Amino acid sequence: CHQDHVDLWQPNTASLICKNATVDVHVKRNDTQGLHAHLKQQHIDYGVFISNLQKEIEKQTGYRSSRKRRSESQYDYEVYHSLEEIQSWMFEMNKTQSHLVDMFSIGKSYEGRPLYVLQIGKRSRHQKKAVWIDCGVHAREWIGPAFCQWFVKEAINSYQYDSVTRRLLNQLNFYIMPVFNVDGYHFSWTTDRFWRKTRSKNHKFHCRGVDANRNWKVKWCEEGASSHPCDDTYCGPFPESEPEVKAVAKFLRKHKKRVKAYISIHAYAQMLLYPYSYKYATIPNFNCVELAAHNAVTALYSAYGVRYRYGPASTTLYVSSGSSIDWAYRNGIPYAFAFELRDTGYFGFLLPESLINPTCTETMRAVKAIASGLLKKCETDRDRFPYI
């Protein structure tokens, strides 16, 4: 009965709520008393994690002198940045770090914003294997774009003195897309902090936006996606209806011979997920992918002792169709991962800026472990997955 008054954070759709499961919801101030009464009446245990959401939001979007710093050397990687700031940072990196960075656009968003990607790696005459990393598919997951920026900063700064980083950048190219869902991210800064979807318009309904992680051309709009435009997991009118998804799919198809790993950064749950999302089945190169995930989670744990669960998305998180990892895998990218970063629900999407550094530091270790694994041969599944 309170369906209309709550914004589901975890899980993201009511159909996934089951007996004895934990549910995270965000409620408007005026609806809290009604919900308290309803939960008591139903004998459902509950606790309040954040009593004043507005105050928490303002902590992360408020004016601070450090936000306004223009030059890269003073750029603050431990605060959240608006789309404009992230884009000018990308231009700056492209200008000042041209020996390792190349910036290009792969298309335009629904609202006409450019979709920028940074290529990181030492220039090379021969074709190098590549890793794709995107952040900010879901607008409200602000730790994502923060990580993509952190990754670029760390890769460039440690290239001189860290032999692992140097080897990775010499032998691989990294394609980094700091903000996949540019329109949604901008909207989450200006209007609705908890917006998830893109901002495309639907003719028949007043509701806007499509879940950019349900819009891929693989088992599109089956289990774990909604066909209703007002839902948070709306799959869209057809696969790749969203220009952002279409642009990334086109780019990855074009470079699929070289791209060996696809990594998508989400929040929150503290998990590392791999295919399949759409069914409970084992992927052909399970042993190699499972080993890569194990190594990544172990590396992540080594930083601060934060435990991540890892496994197939369908069994570890939930079944979803039309996801980017299933699409990447089906299109010949042997290692396809989705990270769900911190936390497990205490702050949820409002992860404090004080946790950007530790979250990115540990995630960096995991991503470097996955990338390092690509430079070694994994023999166990070679016969079953020819792309390795």
Is 340 among the catalytic positions?
yes
Bridge partners (DSSP) listed for residue 271? 309, 340
Give the β-pairing of 259-267 and 309-312.
unpaired
Kindly give the pairing relationship between strand 24-27 and strand 172-177. Answer: unpaired
Strands 101-108 and 114-120, sheet pairing: antiparallel
**Residue 8 structure tokens:** 């589901």
First to last CA, the chain: 50
Q: In 10 A of CB 386, how many CB atoms?
A: 11
Question: How far does CA 105 lie from the centroid of its chain?
Answer: 19
Closest of 343, 348, 345 to residue 359, by C-alpha: 343
DSSP code at position 226: B
Decide: 338 and 269 in contact? Cβ < 8 Å: no
Residue type present at position 174: F
Catalytic residue among 223, 340, 362, 379: 340
* Cα gap 151→157, rounded to integer Å: 10
Signed CA dihedral, 352, 354, 360, 365: sign only:
negative
Show the tokens assigned to 379: 């023999």
DSSP string, 299-353: HHHHHH----EEEEHHHHT---SS-HHHHHHHTT-SEEEEEEES-SSSSTT---G
- Specify burial of residue 195 (Cβ count, 10 A radius: 0-12, 13-18, 19+): buried
Rounded Cα distance between 238 and 61, Å, is 35
Q: Using CA atoms in the order 50, 52, 53, 55, what is the torsion angle rounded to 10 degrees?
A: -120
**Which residues are part of the catalytic machinery?**
340
